[in-house]
Amino acid sequence: MHKIQEWNPKIFTLSHIPEKYHLFVSKFIRRVVIARMAESPDLASVYHLKLRDAYDMEDKLKDSNILKQSEEQLVRLLDEVEMQLSNSAYLAGEQFTLADAMLIPILAHIMLLNLEDEYIGSRPKISEYWNKVKHRPSYRKVIGRYFVGWRKYRTLSKTFCFICIRTVLRRY
């Protein structure tokens, strides 16, 4: 669980999103933070930290060493998971545990980014595990319902339209 928590999926995820979409959303987030800062001057210091984090993230995305480290850390994590799954059905034994619940969002991110063949499909135990997890009722109810088939595009397009409308109306 600690190894899963050590990895920051944000850098990996943002590095695999087309730059024009990332810049559009990043600009929107900065506008929202600035608008909230103007609305609540007493919380300006907190919003200023969020704004600084947004700029820091953009700088990290420009640094190829950080992107490479993030990807290498993911590969190491997945290799360790593959090794663990060769000994048991789930990460911490034969029962589904919190460690498994922490790994599922990472695998879902990989699937959502259409990188499933590269990171999951190349590891047979993780691929088998992922197929088993996708058939769990809890997965179907929480994640699968929004990110499988056409619903994936529906969810993403709703989010994109929401951001566009708020940008046009300047309602941050």
Contact assessment for residue 135 and residue 129, using Cβ atoms and an 8 Å cutoff: no
Quote the DSSP letter at residue 113. Answer: T
Q: What is the overall mean pLDDT for the chain? A: 88
Q: How many CA atoms lie within 13 A of 36 on its CB side?
A: 16
Spatial neighbors of 107 by CB under 8 A, at least 6 apart, are 120, 126, 130, 133
Tell me how far apart the alpha carbons of residues 92 and 105 are, in angstroms, rounded to a whole number: 17
Query: In the prediction, which pLDDT does 87 show?
Result: 93
pLDDT at 172 over 70: no
Tell me how far apart the alpha carbons of residues 30 and 14 are, in angstroms, rounded to a whole number: 16
Mean local confidence (pLDDT), 137-153: 76
pLDDT at 148 over 70: no
Q: How many CA atoms lie within 13 A of 89 on its CB side?
A: 6
Which domains does the chain carry? Answer: 1-169 (1.20.1050.10)
Mean local confidence (pLDDT), 95-100: 92
Query: In the prediction, which pLDDT does 74 show?
Result: 95
Q: pTM for the full model? A: 0.77
Mean local confidence (pLDDT), 79-104: 93
pLDDT digits (tens, 9 = 90+) for 19-60: 888 888 888 888 888 888 888 889 989 999 999 998 999 899
Query: In the prediction, which pLDDT does 152 show?
Result: 67
Task: Give me 16's structure tokens.
Answer: 């695999």
